[in-house]
Amino acid sequence: MYAPVESNQGFNFKPELPTSSAYYRLLKKLRRQVGHAIRDYNMIEDGDKVMVCVSGGKDSYTLLDILLQFKRIAPINFDIVAVNLDQKQPGFPEDVLPRYMEENNIPYYILEKDTYTITKRLTPEGKTYCAVCSRLRRGSLYGFAQEIGATKVALGHHRDDIMATFFLNLFHGGSLKAMPPKLLSSDKKNILIRPLAYVEEKDIIKYAELRQFPIIPCNLCGSQENLQRAIINDMLREWDKQHPKRLHSIFGALQNVSPSQLADRELFDFEALDGQREFDMKDPEEMKNRLDVVNLSFAAE
C-alpha cells in the first residue's frame, strides 16, 4: 500500500537548483561515478533510446536527473524517455509524476497495469507477493520497452543494492551472484543497465534532499525477502560506520572474481588441470645424486 499523499501538497515540482558548494561537490562526484560506470560497461552508445524506469523514489529520480545532464553534455547523441508503471496500488498519487515530468519538459509515459490485483489473485494464501509482483512488473516494463523502440532499459539500483543482493543470495540463496551493472534480459530482447552501480545510497539520499524531488512515500507490505534485505542493509550501514573502507573492498571483489579459486565446476574446468600440468624433467642421474645427498643428510641426523 502507498501511504496517503495529498496531491501536490508540499511539492515544488521545479525547484531552483541549489547553489551551495556542498551540492556542486556532490554533483561532481555523482557525475564522475555514473560516467565511469557508463564507460566501463559500455552502457550507452550513439543513437540509443534509453528508457528510464521511474518509480517516484529517490533512486530513480536521481538516475533520471543525472542521465538528463549527461545527455546535454555527452559527445554522443542519445534519447531519454521516462516510464512509470502505475500498478494500481491503493493510494498511489497518480498526478505527481506526470506533473514533475511536464514541468521539467521530460518525455514520459505512464504505463497503467493492474498488477496489484493480479498479484493478490495469483499469490497463494500465506505466501508473499514479491515473486509474482516482480515478475509481472518486469514483464510489463520489458514489453513496453520493445513497443517504444527503447534500446536500453535503465534501472535505479545503486552500489548498496548490488551488495545487498549479493549477501541475500549468499546467506539465503546458496549462490554467488548479485546485480550486474549491465545485463541481457532472460528473453534476450532487452539490455538492462544500472548507471548508479558505483554510487553509494547515502550520496543519493543527500542529492535527492538537495534537489527537492517530489518523492512518493511508499509503504509496501513487507515480505520475507524484503525483511531479510532490510536486515542486510542495516548490516551494511553498520559496517560503513565501523569500517569505512569495507564496502568499497566488497564491491571491488565483485569486479575481481577468480573462478579457479572457487568451487563451481560449471564455471571452471577442474578436471582439465591434470592435463595442463607442466613437468620439469630433470636429468635422471642428477636427480639420483640429489636424492643420495638428501638421504645422507637424514642419516646424519
Distance CA 41, CA 166 (A): 19
Is 53 flagged in the annotation as binding?
A: no
Is 218 flagged in the annotation as binding?
A: no
Strand pairing category for 79-86 and 49-53:
parallel
Distance CA 65, CA 76 (A): 18
For the chain, the 3-state helix, strand and coil shares in percent, each to the nearest 5, are 50, 10, 40
Closest CA to 64 of 80, 78, 79, 47: 80
CA dist 121 → 91, 118, 138, 157, 269 (Å): 19, 5, 18, 28, 45
End-to-end CA distance of the chain: 80
Bridge partner list, 81: 51
Distance CA 72, CA 96 (A): 25
Annotated binding site for [4Fe-4S] cluster: 130, 133, 221
Which residues are known binding-site members? 130, 133, 221
